[in-house]
């Protein structure tokens, strides 16, 4: 029980520090090996507590203009995620995933994970609200998931459907 109390104290202090920092660096645990030694039910309670505390933090909003290029595919998020994922391909062949009108509860280590024909691609999100652009390798992607990689928790998924020929900005 003392271990759990210690780790919860570390997490609460870390979340408070994360909330007060001016930069947007993610919060990382320094004692992951110790956490892995805890009983599964303690870890589950800890995860639920951390996610609940993180959800109470103010939104980190990112508002970027849309990229230029052709819209390759798009899909609306479901689950606990609001917004849409739009995959653009530029004239130079570079791909950008735009997450627009986006909102999900704050959580540690938020990423967008794209799945498709190749290996999954994970990119860190800079915020949990607004519209942001994420550079991704060229590929055929079928889904975009919003996840906390720390907890291996998926909050929502967008199924990307082809939109070939639609012009972007």
pLDDT at position 152, please?
85
The answer to whether 148 touches 109, Cβ cutoff 8 Å, is: yes
Residue extents of the structural domains in the chain? 2-55, 61-167
Query: Rounded mean pLDDT of the chain?
Result: 82
Model confidence over 24-33: pLDDT tens digits? 444 445 566 6
The pLDDT assigned to 72 comes to 95
| pLDDT at 167 > cutoff 80 | no
At residue 164, the pLDDT reads: 56
Q: Is the pLDDT of residue 139 over 50?
A: yes
Q: Are strands 161-167 and 129-136 parallel, antiparallel or unpaired?
A: unpaired
């Amino acid at each position: 029980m003392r271990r759990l109390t210690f780790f919860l104290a570390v997490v609460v202090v870390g979340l408070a520090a994360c909330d007060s920092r001016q930069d947007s660096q993610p919060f990382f645990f320094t004692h992951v090996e110790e956490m892995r030694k805890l009983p599964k039910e303690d870890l589950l309670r800890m995860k639920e507590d951390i996610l609940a505390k993180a959800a109470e933090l103010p939104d980190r909003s990112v508002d970027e203009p849309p990229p230029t290029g052709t819209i390759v595919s798009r899909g609306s998020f479901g689950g606990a995620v609001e917004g849409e994922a739009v995959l653009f391909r530029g004239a130079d062949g570079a791909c950008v995933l735009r997450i627009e009108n986006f909102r999900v509860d704050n959580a540690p280590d938020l990423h967008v994970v794209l799945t498709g024909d190749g290996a999954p691609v994970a990119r860190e999100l800079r915020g949990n609200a607004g519209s942001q652009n994420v550079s991704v390798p060229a590929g055929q992607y079928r889904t975009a998931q919003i996840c906390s990689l720390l907890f291996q928790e998926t909050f929502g998924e967008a199924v990307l459907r082809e939109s070939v020929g639609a012009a972007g900005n």
